[in-house]
Amino acid sequence: MSKIFHTYIKKYQFHPFELLFDDSVREYIKTEYTEKTSTLYAIVETDKACFLPQTFLFDENFCANGKIKVLGVEHNVSLNIPKTLYESESELSDSLQNNFRRIEDFTDYCMEQYKNNEGEKVTSGALYKLLATIDKQSSSAKTMYSNCPLWNILTNSEEQLAQYNVYQMINFF
């Protein structure tokens, strides 16, 4: 027989333990909610899930498509990368939503920074697919890293990798 704790939680944010103490991401996950409103912190047990980083590829819809494994079973997943930036509960998302009316405006703006005016016209999605890569050496079962053109524009850096935690992605999507 399992022990189960039931409660009603109308709003929550998921942050893995490692991110709570990582100063480099603290500003991106800090919100009015996390700083002043939330009153309950929980440590929970979940089924073990892991990324299979070698299976992930990017498509023209700004998605990373690949597999995760839960309890030994592989599942196909599609992670909409702009959505994680634009629609999450964070100051970064608030800023993006204030500066861009739609998520497509945000992605088009970022990808315009990479386009060469002298060359062929290429869609933002096609260019994203060409430039985005999973860093398979840095990635692990718990955390996947990518060279993400959108993230590079937001951070003004070609060298900082975007980070995705497996449980955050499962929760978000």
Q: Where are the domains of the chain?
A: 17-172
Residue whose token pair is 């005016």: 117
* Percent of the chain with pLDDT strictly greater than 90: 51
Assigned token pair, 38:
């939330």
pLDDT (0 to 100) of residue 115: 81
CA 50 to chain centre: 15
pTM surpassing 0.95? no
Phi, psi dihedrals of residue 77, rounded to the nearest 5°: -135, 155
Band of the pLDDT at 38, cuts 50, 70, 90? low
For residue 136, give both structure tokens. 């398979």
Sort strands 143-147 and 133-134 into parallel, antiparallel or unpaired: antiparallel
CA 134 to chain centre: 13
Banded pLDDT at 110 (limits 50, 70, 90): very high
pLDDT over threshold 70, residue 147 = yes
Mean of per-residue pLDDT scores for the chain:
84
Indicate the pLDDT class of residue 100, thresholds 50, 70 and 90: very high
Residue 7 pLDDT greater than 60, yes or no: no
User: What's the farthest any 2 CA atoms get from each other in the chain?
Assistant: 67
Decide: 111 and 127 in contact? Cβ < 8 Å: yes
Residue 6 CA to its chain's centroid (Å): 28
pLDDT over threshold 80, residue 103: yes
